[in-house]
Amino acid sequence: MSGMRSGVFAAAALVSTLMSGVAFAQAAATPVRGGTLITAIDPEPAVLNVTYHNQYANSAVSANIFDGLLTYDANQKPQPALVTSWDVSKDGLAITLKLRKDVKWHDGVLFTSADVQYSFLEVLKKVHPRGRITFAPIKDVEAPDPYTVILRLERPAPVILSSLNSAEAQIIPKHLYEGTDIRTNPYNQKPVGTGPFKFKEWKKGQYVELERNPEYWDKGKPYLDKVIVRNIPDAAGRAAALETGEILYLPYAGVPFSDVARLRKDPNLVFDSRGYAYNSQIYFFDFNQRRPITGNVKVRQAIAHAIDKQGLINTVWYGLSQPVDGPIPPSLTKYYTTDKPKYPYDLAKAEKLLDEAGYPKKADGIRFSLTADLSPSADAFVPAGEYIRQNLKKIGIDLKPISNDPPAYLKKVFTDYDYDINIQGYSVLFDPEMGLTRLLWSKGASKGVPYVNAGGYNNPAMDKVVEGYQRETDPAKRVKLFHELQRIELADLPLLPIMDAPFFTLYNKRVHGLDFNPDGARSSFRDVWLSK
């Protein structure tokens, strides 16, 4: 009897303990107001909006200041943000957007359809690197009342509804930008948005400070008082700051890859690779077609056979990625195809192609020299450049990697076109029309606009495919056109796809409410809170 009694008491104690645990878990899940989220991003933002310069550091910070018209859920379906509802006409030539009412810009001015109209017609269609192409079908934007916008299209463009989040299509205040040069407007450095956080201060080279927007339309949010985005140029320094708790959140693989295994064992830290699917970013070699050597398709094919992609990933990125075999990654299963040219690692084939191209080895074993400009967007591109240099030396190519700061790099590649090979990450995005059109369409080139077709690639067959999927409304036919795009691109090789961008986030366990939807890494901290 006593044994039974003790068993009952033990069971009761267990239930009590479990219930206490549940209560504790529920309490822990209740957002706590206040506190400062200290984070870091590398490189430092260049500007604090992405309407004309959409590098990821710019968007990761400015998405807290500017809202998008829509957001996207885990299934990549659009969800309301500044737009509460939307309707596409039966002929696909009109998209009607109903705007949220009583939204204010951070300076107190009401947000209206005039801001959306201005942002589309004068900004996104004219200066946005991808938007110039994505939103080109918009022939007019009507604003029949302060809370209704009608996009009038020259042709159906399903891609538009995949392009309206805060990272891709920020809406900016007409009253502060109208009549100015968007690219030199001082509000790019001290932005006024509608988002959950207001700009407070930017000390260049040190930090950006944001503060809670008390009049945010999503009542009760954000929970945080402040967000401070620090500039810590050294990757090892960022890792140390995470370990000591000086920073609590670090996106975009901001630590040395050699430290990842150790950091994943830290009981105070969490590793997560979600939140980057919207980008679907690939690291590419971008060949300058204007130059005789890199303009030779056999040279490009030889280089494709000479790169040990898996060895590169294992050596530089500690195995934290995977090779890709085309401009559309396998993760985009809807659009990906295996039916296309392939370039396995094969040094003998590479040597044969270079001989056929008319570049025999000289007495010193070198065929010719090339330069490779390394994007400053990731520290790892420097050791990657050295690894690739060693790869190409095996087939008689003398490669000279070049590093520059962001302004010099952008001017050299996208304005002066002064490069042989550009090693850069490009976002394909979850509809490849958004990410690949600007790189492969001859009309996507625009001197001085970053992250577009800089190499001078021009193939009428590719243009026909691009202009086909831009107009095609039948989903199955559109997929077939993307399959054909992959075949043409891999035959011509204006871009050599290397690997998935190895993005991940590390954050302190005190941080809750992070967004891990497809565009989560470039979304705001409006739901984030800190436990004590």
Position 24 scores a pLDDT of 36
Mean pLDDT score, 108-117 = 98
- The CATH superfamily holding the domain 281-500 is Dipeptide-binding Protein; Domain 3 (3.10.105.10)
Amino acid letter at 161? L
pLDDT over 50 (residue 17):
no
**Three-state DSSP state, 459:** coil
Domain with CATH 3.10.105.10 in the chain: 281-500
Share of the chain above pLDDT 90, in %: 85
pLDDT range class, residue 22, cuts 50, 70, 90: very low
Q: Can you give the pLDDT at residue 371?
A: 98
State mean pLDDT over 3-28. Answer: 37
67-180 fold: Dipeptide-binding Protein; domain 1 (3.90.76)
446 touches 132 (CB < 8 A): yes
pLDDT digits (tens, 9 = 90+) for 320-347: 999 999 999 998 999 999 999 999 999 9
Q: Which CATH class is domain 36-44+187-277+504-530?
A: alpha beta
Task: Tell me the sheet residues that pair with 250.
Answer: 506
Q: Where in the chain is the domain with CATH 3.40.190.10?
A: 36-44+187-277+504-530
pTM (2 d.p.): 0.84
- Give per-residue pLDDT as tens, 27-82: 447 999 999 999 999 889 999 999 988 888 999 999 999 999 999 988 888 999 99
Where are the CATH 3.90.76.10 domain residues in the chain?
A: 67-180
Backbone angles phi, psi at 495, to 5 degrees: -125, 135
pLDDT at 113: 98
C-beta pairs of 466-469 under 8 Å, 24+ apart in sequence: 466/437, 466/440, 466/441, 467/441, 469/433
Give the model confidence (pLDDT) of 396-419 as tens digits. Answer: 999 999 999 999 999 999 999 999
Residue 247 has a CB neighbour count (10 Å cut-off) of: 25
Determine the pLDDT at residue 55.
86
pLDDT tens, residue by residue, 201-220: 999 999 999 999 999 999 99
Q: Which residue has the tokens 């009607």?
A: 96
Average pLDDT over residues 159-173: 94
Instruction: Determine the average pLDDT of the residues in 90-111.
Output: 97
| Structure tokens that stand for 430 in this block | 């979850």
- pLDDT of 349 reads 98
Residue 331's pLDDT is 86
Structure tokens at 28: 């822990």
> Could you tell me the pLDDT band of residue 287, with boundaries at 50, 70 and 90?
very high
C-alpha to C-alpha distance for 195 and 399, rounded to whole angstroms: 46
> What's the chain's average pLDDT?
93
Q: Assign 481 a pLDDT band (cuts: 50, 70, 90).
A: very high
Which residue's entry shows tokens 């239930």? 15
Q: Given pLDDT bands bounded at 50, 70 and 90, which one contains residue 187?
A: very high
The b-or-e profile of 251-261 (16+ CB within 10 A means b, else e) is: bbbbbbbebbe
- pLDDT tier, 430 (very low <50, low <70, confident <90, very high otherwise): confident
